[in-house]
Amino acid sequence: MSSKSYSLTELPSMAEEILNKAETTVLCFYGEMGAGKTTLIKELVQQLGGTDHGSSPTFGIVNEYHKSDGSLLGYHFDFYRLNDEMEALDLGFEDYLQQQAWVFIEWPEKIPSLLPEQRTHILLEVLDPERRKIKVENLDH
């Protein structure tokens, strides 16, 4: 997907497009604070049938989401407050990656050596208070 811009009202269609383009269930979200990473993840969780209302797990580091039947949908990590990769390892991050579930990662640049080779990068940029620019890249090193 080449770069494109979207507004908050276009968020549902943008999330649908991301889900159609992603070649993996590990989605890494890059962007400055306030770029809309958590808002986009909330929409993705909703589109995937999640019953939880997504929120940033900044204080707990990870949130777990479920489908309406109670089955696991995925995990949402916010590594903003991590000091080093060892903290992610202590959380059991590698075990989460082994689950058959979506994994949404905010601030993946904090754990570069722990990211799986197959992943989708989602780069967000603030254009103005109402619009964001997005670029989706599937990686398979």
Report d(CA 43, CA 54) in Å as an integer: 8
The angle subtended at Cα 94 by Cα 42 and Cα 17, nearest 5°, is 30
CB contact set of 36 (below 8 Å; sequence gap of 6+) = 124, 126, 132
Distance (Å, rounded) from C-alpha 88 to C-alpha 79?
8
The closest of 57, 39, 41, 21 to 102, measured between CA atoms, is: 41
What is residue 61's predicted lDDT score, i.e. its pLDDT? 85
How far apart CA 14 and CA 99 sit, in angstroms, is 26
Task: Kindly report the three-state secondary structure assignment for every residue of 90-125.
Answer: HCCHHHHHCCCCEEEEECHHHCHHHCCCEEEEEEEE
pLDDT of residue 60: 67
Which one-letter DSSP state was computed for residue 53? Answer: -
**Low-confidence residues in the chain, pLDDT < 70:** 1, 52-60, 141
Q: What is the pLDDT of residue 53?
A: 62
Q: What is the pTM of this model?
A: 0.92
Q: Are 93 and 114 in contact (CB under 8 A)?
A: yes
Residue 65, C-beta contacts closer than 8 angstroms, at least 6 positions apart: 45, 50, 51, 52, 54, 72, 73, 74, 75, 76, 102
What domains lie within the chain, and their CATH numbers?
A: 4-140 (3.40.50.300)
| pLDDT tens per residue, range 58-91 | 556 899 999 999 999 999 999 999 999 999 999 9
Q: What is the pLDDT of residue 102?
A: 97
| pLDDT for res 95 | 95
Residue 66: predicted pLDDT: 93
d(CA 35, CA 124): 6
